[in-house]
Amino acid sequence: MLDLTRLPESLHRAVACAAVTMGQASVELVRQGRVPKGDPLTVARVAAVQAAKDTGRLIPHCRTPLVEYVGLDFSLGETEIGIRAEVKAGGREGVATAALCAAAVAALTIYDMLKMVDETLGIEGLRLLEDSESNRERSESSGRGLRAAVLVLSDSISRGENEDTSGKVISARLAGAGFTLADYRVIPDEPALLRETLVRYADSDRLDLVLTSGGTGLGPRDSTPETTLALLQREVPGIEEAARAFGQRRTPLSMLSRGAAGFRGQTLIVNLPGSVKAVTDYLDSLLSGLKELLGARKSDGELDKLSGGNG
C-alpha cells in the first residue's frame, strides 16, 4: 500500500460516464415509469452513491475516499440511457476510481432491472471524463523551464564545522520537480549578506524561485524573515500559513517557525526552516502549489484565476 501521509489534503473531483444500450421499447418503459421492478433510475442513483462510498472495499488496492458528494445525471436517448457520475471528496486520495465505480454500478443496476424485459441490453462507454488528480499530475512538469536557487543560512556550516543536509534535500527536490538549479550556496546568518544575495537573485539574475533554509527560529541570530520581508515588494503570507498548518499536524513545534514569502520583481522568495524534517514537510506541502503559482505568474489572467481574483 502506498504511503500518502506526506501529501497535503485537498479537494478531489472526478466525472465518469457510461451507457446502457437497449431497445426503444425499453427506453419508453423507463420514461413512462412502467418497468416491472420499479424505477431503475432511482435505484441506480442510490446504488451509485453506495458504490462510490464503498470503492475501497470493492477494489483491492484502492483506498476508500471520504466521499462528500455524489451526483448522478441520466439522459434517455432513443436506444440507450446515458449515465454521468460526479464524485467529490476531501483528503489525499483522488476519486477517479470512485467515479468510475459509481457509473459502472449505476449501469449494472439499470441492466439488472431491465434484463427481464429486454434481451438486447448492453453496457458500453465506461470512461473517465474529468479528473482533478490528472490536472495535478500534469502540473508536476510545470517546474520545467523555471530557474531556482537554494540559499542556506548557517554560521556553523559556513565555517565548515557542520555539513549541510537541508540545502541538498531542497536541491534534489527542485531538480526532481523539473527546476533548473541556477545556484546553491551557504552563507552565515548575516542580514546584510542575506539581503545582498537575495537582491542579486531577484534584480540581476531574475530567478523564478529562491528557497532559503535556516534563520527562521527564535534564536538571537535568526533574522531571515525580517530581512526577507524588508525587501519583498508583494508578500504572499498564505504560502507560509499553508506550510505551518501542514507541519502542525506532525509536530507542535511547527508553530514556532517564522518564515516569510513573497515576490521581489518576478522572483518568488520563500523561507524554509533549517532542519531536514521541517524542510521535507514544507516541500511536501508547498512544492506543487509553488509550481502552479510560478507557471500562472507568466500570465496575469491565469494568475488572477488561480488566486480567485475578480480581474
Q: What pLDDT, in 10s, does the model give residues 78-104?
A: 999 999 999 998 876 789 999 999 999
**Could you tell me the residue ranges of all domains in the chain?**
10-135, 144-299
Can 300 be counted among the known catalytic residues? no
Average pLDDT over residues 115-122: 96
Measure the CA dihedral 21/24/30/35, to 10°: -100
> Among all chains, which residue has been given the C-alpha cell 419508453?
28
Determine the pLDDT at residue 138. 46
What is the domain class of 144-299 according to CATH? alpha beta
* pTM of the predicted protein model: 0.64
Catalytic residue among 112, 155, 205, 222: 112
Contact 16, 128 (CB under 8 A): yes
Q: What confidence tier does 66 reach under pLDDT thresholds 50, 70, 90?
A: confident
CATH architecture for residues 10-135: 2-Layer Sandwich (3.30)
What's the rounded Cα separation, in Å, for the pair 143 and 207? 13
Determine the pLDDT at residue 311. 45
Whole-angstrom distance between the N-terminal and C-terminal Cα of the chain? 44
pLDDT tens-digit map of 167-198: 999 999 999 889 999 999 999 999 999 999 99
What's the rounded Cα separation, in Å, for the pair 157 and 175? 23
Average pLDDT over residues 260-274: 95
Mean confidence (pLDDT) of the chain: 88
Describe the chain by its helix, strand, coil percentages, rounded to 5: 45, 25, 30
Q: What confidence tier does 141 reach under pLDDT thresholds 50, 70, 90?
A: very low
Determine the pLDDT at residue 310. 46
Percent of the chain with pLDDT over 70: 88
Average pLDDT over residues 136-144: 52
